[in-house]
Amino acid sequence: MCLAIPGELLSISGDDPLTREGRVRFAGIVKSANLAFTPEANAGDFVLVHAGFAISVIDEVEAARTLALLDELT
Amino acid sequence: MKHVDEYRDGAAARRYADAIAQMVTRPWSIMEICGGQTHAIVQHGIDRMLPEEITLLHGPGCPVCVTPAEAIDAAVEIALRPAVILCSFGDMLRVPGSQRSLLWAKSQGGDVRMVYSPLDAVAIARDNPEREVLFLAIGFETTTPTTAMAVLHAERAGLKNFSMLVSHVLVPPAMSALLDDPQCKPDGFLAAGHVCAITGAREYEAVTKRYRIPVVITGFEPLDLLQGLHMCIRQLEAGEAVLENQYSRSVREEGNRAAQSAVGSVFQVTSQDWRGIGTIPGSGLRFAARYAAFDARARFPDLAPTPAPPSPCISGEILRGARKPPDCPAFGGTCTPEHPLGATMVSSEGACAAYYRYRKPAGVPKIEEARHEEVPR
Amino acid sequence: MNDKPFFTPQCPSPERDEGLITLAHGGGGLLTRRLIDDVFRPAFAHNAEDLTHDGAVLEVGDTRLAFTTDSYVVKPLFFPGGDIGSMAVYGTVNDLAMCGAKPLYLSAGMVIEEGFALADLRRVVASMSRAAQVAGVRLVTGDTKVVERGKGDGIYITTSGVGQVRAPRPVAPAQIREGDAIILSGDIARHGMAVMAAREDFGFENDIASDCAPLAEPVLAMLDGEIDLHCLRDLTRGGLGTALVEIAVDGGCDLQVARSAIPVSDTVRGACEILGIDPIFVANEGRYIAIVPGGQAGSALAIMQRFEKHAAVIGEVGRPQQTGQASLTTMGGDYVLDLPTGEQLPRIC
């Protein structure tokens, strides 16, 4: 349910929306993930992977904003 | 690891903890319903960083632990039949049903295989056309699209030997059931970030409006959790009750449409039994008519019904905060982490297992006021 | 800071005890320990210290000998970085080294399943021969049995070993003292993850290689360097976490370790994150911890780093306690470690 890990999408293969796959790097491991739920993902993006599927493309702008919120603390 | 390490910065986490301590004027209890968040809170000692006024409640968020005994019993029975391969996620293998676990079935000669993804089970079906291959499909909304997609892949490949034993659970109805219980106490909720990455925010907005309770969609790393808690407590102190999204880098308002669509075509919402809690309407999934052929319960209609053993287990009341573990007659006697009777003891994230460990003599050191410096790398 | 009860997230727990041995009994964690305490110790132990450590130190005339035995069961038999043969040799060599002894001679008992390929047997034996050479030991005696097809997982190997104790004082948990440094010999969790990845099909593109290796040289180098080795422990079944808990209990002192100081390779890290596995409870076959007086930490570390560059000081020994506990320092305080109940399985939640 909850275990989903961000990885770097290295390359994409296949055109069929159901079976389109990407090679994803998690630290020192590279493994493929199904991209059916992230048709907008491009090589170089970071994707959140759960049970062999990319479920979200990480929004870099939002990520930066989230970390920057720390500076707003008094 | 990028997008992980930045959120495990201890110094930054402590700044949030300090900010919370400064902000708080009275007691608040905040519940999360997510095994992954519970795990992170305990591993990093997040609850120990918070001021006394804040109580973290751990709801029924471990999908493995709330899977009803009946589903496991069915899987175990099927696994022991000849020419069957039973595939399951790893953490499901050890959980006992009413008597036995899948690991036990394996020890008895059942072909039980651990898989990382439901697609691996489809591949096993493709590679073993003469065997019936079943996948035990458990999990919350983060996982339901992946099992739906397994069915779509199997359909596309024309596989006749693949089916799934479905026992999925949905979060919002559980939240409502908890909040409808007058004895249930949370003042605020952290919503599970990965579930929301799939479902989007809409159902949680409905919860904030109906119950006038703040809900913050939160991630899983220490900084995410502390930021989410900070946002929730800020609302509580200000008397607000709206939905906020801490996990905006992964969760969009509308969620993941492609995933929702896959789930919507393969499954339908139905009632679901939650182990240790009972039946919650509209909190589970069953196959849509079009995909009934992939339903393991239809393929194996002659399963022996699970006898419901009379159990003193009061997990349900504990999960709602109505009773405490020491109130239970079985606690520490017939019910311990090594032989659990219900969800709250099965999962060592559950309240009963927690209380059980805390009872151990001598020795959980008192937490000093001074902060620990993290040992530098 | 507040006083919240601790609980160890391990979901879920194993089955009820029905008077039968389960796989979890062999996991090296809680149930293994119970088995030793409930079944073996009453039958064999003469005093409280017997059977607490991996090897026995025996006085024979003027000589102190270290004596140990271990059985090797692994699936698959061959994996990146090692095989059952090299494990069987290095494992016993290492148990001797952990007693502060120079390993000398090994015996090997093999239980082979009917139908096992001769080519595979030759491969295993060749590996054992190579490992013995690398470790500087001689395999001097052995035994072979064959069991019916279906009654054994290909091959089981038991090795016993004898070595000459070089450490001037006992090397055991009872010797640890407040203020001692805990030094880890290198990055962890390779072996367990290598075997799991080789056994299950996770679809990893790159292999994880086991760290299977002999450990006598660094130990002897530290003894030559006059390091006062209070305790040594190789981190096999149950990993670093289990070793820390056991030493805390047997040594009667608290141990405090910083998770951030524990080296983990990129490959192992990636695999553990994806599968939701905690590296501190994963088996190693070429890693150990050395517990030495605080004042010698620097010298001991320098010697250990000659053999494995990622060796690191990871913690220290705290106060003596009735029941010693091992804790990890986390951002929120001390996280008390518990013995795991079985092998960690990949999790979904």
Calculate mean pLDDT across residues C178-190: 98
Backbone angles phi, psi at C313, to 5 degrees: -75, 125
Regarding whether C208 and C153 lie in a shared domain, the answer is no
Tens digit of each residue's pLDDT (9 = 90 or more) over B129-183: 999 999 999 999 999 999 999 999 999 999 999 999 999 999 999 999 888 887 7
Single-letter residue type at B371: R
Residue B343 has pLDDT above 70, yes or no: no
Exposure of B316 by Cβ count < 10 A (0-12 exposed, 13-18 middle, 19+ buried)?
A: buried
Q: Does C205 touch chain A (CB under 8 A)?
A: yes
Q: Which residue has the higher pLDDT, B32 or B309?
A: B32
Where a domain ends, among C131, C165, C199?
C165
Residue C5 is predicted with a pLDDT of: 33
Tens digit of each residue's pLDDT (9 = 90 or more) over C209-234: 999 999 999 999 999 999 999 999 99
User: pLDDT band at B371, cuts 50/70/90?
Assistant: very low
Residue C37 has pLDDT above 90, yes or no: no
The residues, any chain, with a CB within 8 Å of residue C251's CB and separated by 6 or more, are C173, C174, C175, C176, C231, C317, C324
Residue B128 has pLDDT above 70, yes or no: yes
Distance CA B23, CA C205 (A): 49
C335, B14: Cβ pair inside 8 Å? no
**From the candidates A13, A29, A31, A55, which should be mutated to test the interface with C, based on the most C CB atoms within 10 A?**
A29
Chain B 81-110, CB below 8 Å of chain A: which residues? 89
User: pLDDT band at B338, cuts 50/70/90?
Assistant: low
Q: Does C11 touch chain A (CB under 8 A)?
A: no
* Contacts A1 to C, Cβ<8 Å: 348-349
User: pLDDT band at A74, cuts 50/70/90?
Assistant: low
Residue B358 is predicted with a pLDDT of: 56
Regarding whether C291 and C233 lie in a shared domain, the answer is yes
Regarding whether C182 and C140 lie in a shared domain, the answer is no
For B136, the enclosing helix (H) or strand (E) is: strand B132-139
Residue C184 has pLDDT above 60, yes or no: yes
Q: Does C35 touch chain B (CB under 8 A)?
A: no
Mean pLDDT, rounded, of chain B: 87
* CATH assignment of the domain containing C188: 3.90.650.10
User: Which residue in A has a C-alpha nearest to residue C269's C-alpha?
Assistant: A27
Residue C332 is predicted with a pLDDT of: 86
Chains near C with 3+ CB pairs less than 8 A apart are A, B
Residue B308 is predicted with a pLDDT of: 63
Mean pLDDT, rounded, of chain A: 95
C23, B48: Cβ pair inside 8 Å? no
Residue C13 has pLDDT above 60, yes or no: no
Distance CA A46, CA B1 (A): 11
* CATH assignment of the domain containing C67: 3.30.1330.10
Regarding whether C284 and C201 lie in a shared domain, the answer is yes
Of A49-63, B29-43, C282-296, which range is least confident?
Answer: B29-43
Q: Is residue C32 part of a domain?
A: no
Nearest chain B CA: its distance from A23 CA (Å): 15
Regarding whether C198 and C92 lie in a shared domain, the answer is no
Q: Is residue C5 part of a domain?
A: no
Tens digit of each residue's pLDDT (9 = 90 or more) over C120-159: 999 999 999 999 999 999 999 999 999 999 887 899 999 9
Tens digit of each residue's pLDDT (9 = 90 or more) over B47-83: 899 999 999 988 888 888 889 999 999 999 999 999 9
Residue C3 has pLDDT above 50, yes or no: no
Residue A19 has pLDDT above 90, yes or no: yes
DSSP structural state of residue C52: S
Regarding whether C308 and C217 lie in a shared domain, the answer is yes
> Could you give the number of structural domains in chain C?
2
Residue B349 is predicted with a pLDDT of: 56
Regarding whether C180 and C290 lie in a shared domain, the answer is yes
Distance CA C207, CA C205 (A): 7
C82-83/C78-79 β-pairing? antiparallel
Distance CA B364, CA C335 (A): 9
Calculate mean pLDDT across residues B233-254: 97
Chains near A with 3+ CB pairs less than 8 A apart are B, C
Could you list the residue range(s) of the whole structural domain that residue C65 is in? 55-165
Where a domain ends, among C133, C165, C197?
C165
Q: Does C349 touch chain B (CB under 8 A)?
A: yes
* Contacts A51 to C, Cβ<8 Å: 348
Nearest CB among A3, A5, A49 relative to C348 is that of: A3
Rounded to the nearest angstrom, the gap between the alpha carbon of residue B120 and the centroid of all alpha carbons in its chain is: 22
Q: Is residue C265 part of a domain?
A: yes
Q: Is residue C31 part of a domain?
A: no
Residue C6 is predicted with a pLDDT of: 32
Where a domain ends, among C165, C185, C201?
C165
C179 neighbors C293 (Cβ within 8 angstroms): yes
Chains near B with 3+ CB pairs less than 8 A apart are A, C
Distance CA B307, CA C317 (A): 51
User: pLDDT band at A2, cuts 50/70/90?
Assistant: confident
Q: Where are the beta strands (DSSP E) in C198-343?
A: 231-234, 253-258, 288-292, 312-320, 326-330, 333-336
Distance CA C158, CA C140 (A): 14
Residue C79 has pLDDT above 50, yes or no: yes
Single-letter residue type at A66: T
ipTM (interface pTM)? 0.96
**Positive or negative CA dihedral for B13, B15, B17, B19?**
negative
Regarding whether C276 and C127 lie in a shared domain, the answer is no
Q: Does A20 touch chain B (CB under 8 A)?
A: no
Q: Is residue C49 part of a domain?
A: no
Paired with A24 in beta bridges are A9, A31
Which region, left, alpha or beta, applies to residue C222 given φ > 0 means left and ψ of -120 to 50 means alpha?
alpha
Regarding whether C189 and C124 lie in a shared domain, the answer is no
C267, A28: Cβ pair inside 8 Å? yes
A55, B256: Cβ pair inside 8 Å? yes
Regarding whether C148 and C218 lie in a shared domain, the answer is no
Residue A1 is predicted with a pLDDT of: 55
Which region, left, alpha or beta, applies to residue C74 given φ > 0 means left and ψ of -120 to 50 means alpha?
beta
Q: Is residue C43 part of a domain?
A: no
Regarding whether C130 and C184 lie in a shared domain, the answer is no
Regarding whether C250 and C322 lie in a shared domain, the answer is yes
C12, B64: Cβ pair inside 8 Å? yes
* Contacts C271 to B, Cβ<8 Å: none
Residue C62 is predicted with a pLDDT of: 93
Of A20-29, B217-226, C26-35, which range is least confident?
Answer: C26-35
Q: Does A50 touch chain B (CB under 8 A)?
A: yes
What's the whole-model pTM score?
0.91
Q: Is the peptide bond before C293 cis (omega within 30 degrees of 0)?
A: no
Q: Is residue C252 part of a domain?
A: yes
C11, B348: Cβ pair inside 8 Å? yes
* Contacts C271 to A, Cβ<8 Å: 26, 29
C9, B362: Cβ pair inside 8 Å? no
Full DSSP string of B256-296? -HHHHHHHHHHEEEEEEEETTTEEEEEEEEEE-GGGGGGBH
Residue B342 has pLDDT above 80, yes or no: no
B343 neighbors B276 (Cβ within 8 angstroms): yes
Tens digit of each residue's pLDDT (9 = 90 or more) over C319-333: 999 899 999 998 888
User: pLDDT band at C90, cuts 50/70/90?
Assistant: very high
Q: Is residue C24 part of a domain?
A: no
